Amino acid sequence: MSIAEGSTPTMPSDVSRHLSAFDRFAGAASKYVSRGTFFVMCVLLVLVWAPSFFIIGSLDTWQLIINTATTIVTFLLVALLQNTQSRADAAIQHKLNAIADALADLMKQVSEDHDEKPLHTDVNELRDAVGLENKESA
């Protein structure tokens, strides 16, 4: 495969299949929290917490318990889900790079076979697009 000169985008064949323990954990957590079971557990947590006021007695403590629990769970889930989303975005970008590179090769071949001058500009633009995600800051 050709790559635009000066850039080193990662193609799908260059991507390691090895995932770290954290990546595997984040992926499993993402699958779990996207199911109805997790939602039911959250509803059950609220249903158990609500009548606990009568045991705790203090309104401030009662509210602090649910606020702390939900804040901790939210904070951890955001980190896990961001990891999963970032890896998914990178995988899509690698696929797009491979498609753009292959299309540029095909366009170059067609332009050489038929001496199509307008295609040369399009080929250059497409090659410049490969790896563009590394040149732009997000």
> Which residues have CB under 8 Å from 26's CB, separation 6+?
80, 81, 83, 84
Residue 40 confidence (pLDDT) above 90: yes
> What is the share, in percent, of the chain residues with pLDDT greater than 70?
81
Cα 18 vs. chain centroid, distance in angstroms?
16
Q: What is the pLDDT of residues 122-134, one digit of tens each?
A: 777 777 777 666 6
For the beta carbon of residue 103, count every other beta carbon within 10 angstroms.
Answer: 16
- The DSSP call for residue 136 is S
- The pLDDT of residue 15 is 65
Q: What's the mean pLDDT in 71-96?
A: 88
- The pLDDT of residue 3 is 41
Distance CA 44, CA 123 (A): 57
Judge if pTM exceeds 0.85: no
Contact criterion met (CB below 8 Å) for 101 and 95: no
Residue that the structure tokens 């790079």 belong to:
97
- The pLDDT of residue 1 is 38
* Token digits of residue 110: 């067609």
pLDDT band at 12 (very low <50, low <70, confident <90, very high): low
Q: What's the mean pLDDT in 16-35?
A: 86
Computed over every residue of the chain, the mean pLDDT equals 80
**Which has more pLDDT, 23 or 128?**
23
